[in-house]
Structure 1
Amino acid sequence: MTEEDLDARAKRLDRAHVFHSWSAQAGLDLPVVAGGSGAVVWDHAGTRMLDFSSQLVNVNIGHQHPAVVDAIREQASALATIGPATANLRRGEAAARIVAKAPAGFSKVFFTNGGADANENAIRMARLHTGRETVLSTYRSYHGNTGAAIMATGDWRRMPNQFAHGHAHFFGPYLYRSEFWATTPEQESERALQHLRRVVQSEGPQTIAAILLETIPGTAGILLPPPGYLAGVRALADEYGIVLILDEVMAGFGRSGRWFAFEGYDVVPDLITFAKGVNSGYVPVGGVIISDEIAATFDERVFPGGLTYSGHPLAAASIIASIDAMDGEGIVENARRIGAEAIGPALHDLAARHPLIGEVRGEGVFWAMEFVADPATRAPLPAAGIAALKKEIVARGVVPFVADNRIHVVPPCVVTGDQVAEAVAAYDAAITAVEAS
């Protein structure tokens, strides 16, 4: 069978038998991915694409990192699986690697299968620790597609799935489209914090178990928190005895140019959720890093949660290898440098030359270009315009991450300056083509 035949067979089998998430099924025409290396993927025919989506913003270490692949292979040979009610060396080593990157006062990790159930279990811990029920989260957020996690999510995906209880939402800061008539980052921070205070007071502080925030909202637009905002949320949570959960599922493990995004914002949460970049999704895994105070709640009290694959040895081996490789190869530092020296300047240059780009924002390898139909009114570019942009970018050999009226520029942390230049040239040409149409 030729490579072209393999691509055709992959598409045929996919259309015949695979039911895809977040999609109407009939019109799907998905790209075939057969292999990858670093920031590049290809199909069976060898057609190369720069992966500037990191798939779902999770392949932080890049595709097929040899140390991680070898660690999974070696662990599979030694012990492919074991239940969670055991002590396993790889699981313990993985947890130790993770807490070594966390702030002081965090000693325990509860492993899950991904980010959604990490948030699900963090919410459970907060409710049991406080004896309260309500969870506050922002409208512009995504926390996963399980019961409590999808209810904590603020975007449209919550609405067909509202079967959990005890959730309320508020507006987080977003200066470009301020809900608070703010004109400076400082104003946006102050007014967003006052809004949150009023929501806490109106919902009843004695009922609120947790405030759940993405440190940097990702799918919602890569919304960097303005100065003082996260520290202000921390102070508000302390004032009312509320647990602060920071969702680092997308922002963590190098994506922001730091091990955890919150390290840049003068805040330490009570619970940290993670997944994605901890092992770049080579094996499904996530978890909750638990402060010592909350962990102590369950010293003599049963924690009523668990998963068959919690701390799976293949996942644990991949975490160890990923963190060690990221340490040894300076991968987090590369993400920070490439964002400051290559991605940021290049995207700001595009914005200066293309009126379709309303705003550029980001850090590390975590950036967004927000597209507008009119720079004066900031009216979002309609869906047809974004679809045209995506088509033009793909035609130029780049896999984009598209969300609403934005293109998110989210390559692996191992991306090179030359690859950034290649992708930016593709964005430039694609925007020019759409502007001319």
Structure 2
Amino acid sequence: MNAFATPGPALWSAQAHMPSVIGNQLVITRGEGNYIFTDDGRRLFDGTAGLWHTNIGHGRAEMAEVAAEQMRTLETYHVFGRFLNDRAVELAEKIASISPIAEPKIILNSGGSDSIDVALKLARRYWQLRGRSEKTMILSRDLAYHGLHAYGTSVAGLDFNREGYGTDSLVPETARFDTYDIEKVRQTVAEIGPHRIAALIAEPIQGTGGVIPPAPGYLEGLQQIADEHDILLILDEVITGFGRTGHWFAADRYQLHPHIVTMAKGISSGYSAVGGIIVAPEVWAPFYETGAPMYRHGTTYSGHATSAALALKNLEIIEREGLLGRVQELETVLTAELAALSSDDRIAETRVAGLLGGIQLRPEFSAEAVTDDMVAQGWIARPLRGNVIQLSPPFTTTDDELRGFVAAAVSSLDTVAASSSTPELAVAR
């Protein structure tokens, strides 16, 4: 063993403070329906759908069969230059048919962070092609999360994701605007100068920031600002896309007409690594004209044939099983269950939008401690910024499972409160 060797596996975990997680890691070996299983035999309800993505549940045999058949036929072929593969073409056509943007073009890649990079590069490239060289600024919301590639890191509204790299923004010319108050957004746009702004990017419902639905009129206000000032509106639907709000896209739920939509996660329910963007005609058309320059995008696995086949089957299952309507039903259940917690003095606020829920605890009670206890009891939740417990199970969750999930959060909060050093906090309800 060398001087730098540490305990634990060779794998460096993502988004983890390694000294804290070593010795406390869970190794997941199997998934079935709404549950996952660990190497030491525990069965856990997947209350976060992995990272917001396991919409159709785990271990679907028909998904495995589709992957095997596609690999036997053609595992993949790239979509660079004049080459295409049939599954990528079919997936793009399917996405276009359910898109909130009419007559779109689809760029496919490998995930959400990829989609943010390609979208923000396209926004800047578009304005350069239009002869508006001053339009380079990318504005994003406070508390926003847009992945961790260079552009996503640069536009993060969670400051800790931008810290420690020697500069405030890895990619220059980015700025943040208010998450709640549309008038403050207008003020920021005016101060920077609309003539300098290439795009506004926003999650319709903020996820990692703490499950924050939009304030009334806020998204409509962003749309108006973009339309009034010739700014591109980019919706980050990596979490909300493909049914999480009870609609194919949150843009449909909130009746928005963005120029670009980023997507990933729910497009395949995690059965393959797929992401991409949906592009409006206004933005793609200049690149399709005779004499137009090339928009230089693409990764090796853009339009990966097996991943596209899995995404297509996933979307078929969502349609066949009526899971968009099921999400709407589950939203009603989740809303009622969280409303019943309004008298609990330990809880600062609860929030719901679609099958996205958050329980924000008062500072005296640690969401991390509560979610750790929930895992010990067989329920996976996740602590988010703002001392929030994330609730976002698969679309296949039953009403009883959802009620049990919320009850487990309260039970674990009881356990954490009982261990508090301040007696009055332990019994506050």
User: What's the TM-score once normalised by structure 1's chain length?
Assistant: 0.87
Match in the other structure for 1:422: 404
Equivalent residue for 2:374, pick from 381, 387, 393: 393
Equivalent residue for 2:66, pick from 61, 71, 79: 71
Match in the other structure for 1:171: 178
Rate the CA distance shift 1:365–1:105 in 2: closer, same or farther, 3 A. Answer: same
Structure 1 residue 45: deviation in Å? Answer: 4.4
Equivalent residue for 2:224, pick from 223, 235, 239: 235
Task: Give, in whole Å, the separation in 2 of the partners of 1:339 and 1:129.
Answer: 38
Per-residue CA distance 1:53-90 (angstroms, 9 max, x = gap): 11111111211223322211211111112112222111
Structure 1 residue 139: deviation in Å? Answer: 1.5
Equivalent residue for 1:272, pick from 261, 265, 269: 261
Structure 1 residue 101: deviation in Å? Answer: 1.1
Matches within 5 A, 1:253-272: 253-272=242-261
Q: Give the partner amino acid of 2:346.
A: L
Equivalent residue for 2:162, pick from 151, 158, 162: 158
Rate the CA distance shift 1:403–1:104 in 2: closer, same or farther, 3 A. Answer: closer
Matches within 5 A, 1:28-427: 28=21, 29-85=24-80, 86-131=83-128, 132-155=135-158, 156-161=160-165, 162-173=169-180, 192-299=181-288, 300-340=292-332, 342-352=333-343, 354-372=344-362, 380-381=363-364, 385-404=366-385, 405-427=387-409
Higher helix share: 1
Task: Give, in whole Å, the separation in 2 of the partners of 1:159 and 1:44.
Answer: 35
Match in the other structure for 1:20: 13
Task: Give, in whole Å, the separation in 2 of the partners of 1:98 and 1:104.
Answer: 10
Per-residue CA distance 1:190-221 (angstroms, 9 max, x = gap): xx222111111111111100000011111101
Structure 1 residue 104: deviation in Å? Answer: 4.5
Q: Give the partner amino acid of 2:407.
A: A
Q: Give the partner amino acid of 1:23.
A: A
Structure 1 residue 14: deviation in Å? Answer: 9.4
Show structure 2 runs of 5+ residues with no match: 1-5, 129-134, 420-429
How well do the aligned residues superpose, as a CA RMSD in angstroms? Answer: 1.6
Paired residue secondary structure (1:67): helix
Rate the CA distance shift 1:205–1:19 in 2: closer, same or farther, 3 A. Answer: same
Rate the CA distance shift 1:233–1:332 in 2: closer, same or farther, 3 A. Answer: same
Rate the CA distance shift 1:292–1:381 in 2: closer, same or farther, 3 A. Answer: farther
User: What's the TM-score once normalised by structure 2's chain length?
Assistant: 0.89
Task: Give, in whole Å, the separation in 2 of the partners of 1:34 and 1:426.
Answer: 23
Q: Which runs of 4+ in 1 moved over 4 A?
A: none
Number of matched pairs = 396
Per-residue CA distance 1:90-113 (angstroms, 9 max, x = gap): 111111111111125232110111
Structure 1 residue 425: deviation in Å? Answer: 2.4
Rate the CA distance shift 1:351–1:42 in 2: closer, same or farther, 3 A. Answer: farther
Question: Is the 2:153–2:170 contact (alpha carbons within 8 Å) kept by the matching residues of 1?
Answer: no
Show structure 1 runs of 5+ residues with no match: 1-12, 174-191, 373-379
Task: Give, in whole Å, the separation in 2 of the partners of 1:262 and 1:370.
Answer: 26
Q: Percent identity?
A: 31
Paired residue secondary structure (2:350): strand
Per-residue CA distance 1:275-308 (angstroms, 9 max, x = gap): 0001012111100001011111211220022111
Task: Give, in whole Å, the separation in 1 of the partners of 2:251 and 2:294.
Answer: 30
